[in-house]
Structure 1
Amino acid sequence: MVSINLSDPAVQSYILYSGILGLKLLAVTILTGRVRYAKKVFANEEDAKRTKGKVKYDDPDVERVRRAHLNDLENIPVFWVLGALYLTTAPEAAWATLLFRVYTAGRILHTIVYAVKPLPQPARGIAFGIPFIITVYMGFKVVTHFITAL
């Protein structure tokens, strides 16, 4: 039986970086709203009327921020699940903390180079790829750890 100890530094690290990633998701929501209001481009008629804006579904700036947000919504929940499962393999705290920290920094950097200050490739690819590799690594470690128990 595996137990998770909240005083374990790896668990505390996971909780800290998960909280940061949750706040980051909320921040990108606000960023999307800021871009919509700055450009007066909305997806709903009632929002457009209130600000004398227009309904438009293909504004490149709004869509860029929305795609960055969608990318977060596709990747961060997987980190939450695999990171929590990874903790059940009793990883070394320093290594787990490094993985969680680099993952979080990469996701923040991804949003910056994708939606805040777009940079040419390979900036976005690297900022996406490193966290992705970390997630794959954690998933692989979980599977290989528990496959021997079958």
Structure 2
Amino acid sequence: MSSLSSRMDSQVFQAFSTYATIVILKMMLMSPLTSYFRLTRKVFANLEDTKLVSSKEDKKLVCIDPDVERVRRCHLNDLENIIPFVLVGLLYSLTGPELSVALLHFRLFAGCRIFHTIAYIGALPQPSRAGSWILGMLVTFSMAYRVLSAVLLL
């Protein structure tokens, strides 16, 4: 048990905790951003939500807006990528990697996700968004490989 405790006190685990918190907070900020886009463009997911801007329900306020959908899809993409990073990164940080290698993984992933959001919401031309997504996935796969090679028991 002392080995697990010492690994949790390690600089790698502290670095992981820092970058995991950054990308989790970034993911959490996508919800208020979606709400902002919905309110400013008067686009609502449900008819009853139209009462936020009108005393009576107005069916024409409920529609699809490309900007709102873009932010929503970006948020869903975060969920598909940040949750695996956090889970794999936690296990990875407990395998005792070199701090410099771990920091490279964590920084690359956090940077990729932040750039991915900028590219997605700003509608930057491809392959900007795809490249950042691929690099972020490769980072997570690299950590997963390290975890499996360190602890694989079949």
User: TM-score normalised to the size of structure 2?
Assistant: 0.89
Aligned partners of 1:4 and 1:88 also within 8 Å: no
Q: Which runs of 4+ in 1 moved over 4 A?
A: none
Identity of aligned residues (%): 41
Aligned partners of 2:92 and 2:143 also within 8 Å: yes
Q: CA deviation at 1:122?
A: 0.4
Relative to 1, partners in 2 of residues 1:4 and 1:130: Cα closer, same or farther, differing over 3 Å?
farther
Match of 2:126 in 1: 121
- The SS at the match of 1:41 is coil
Q: How does 1:1-150 map to 2 (within 5 A)?
A: 3-5=4-6, 6-52=8-54, 54-56=61-63, 58-115=64-121, 117-147=122-152
User: TM-score normalised to the size of structure 1?
Assistant: 0.91
Say which one has the larger Rg. 2
- The SS at the match of 1:24 is helix
- The SS at the match of 1:3 is helix
Relative to 1, partners in 2 of residues 1:24 and 1:134: Cα closer, same or farther, differing over 3 Å?
same
Superposition RMSD on alpha carbons, in Å? 1.6
- The SS at the match of 1:34 is helix
Q: CA deviation at 1:87?
A: 1.4
Q: Which runs of 5+ in 1 are unaligned?
A: none
Q: Tell me, in whole angstroms, the C-alpha distance in 2 between the residues paired with 1:29 and 1:50.
A: 17
Q: Which runs of 5+ in 2 are unaligned?
A: none
Q: CA deviation at 1:49?
A: 2.2
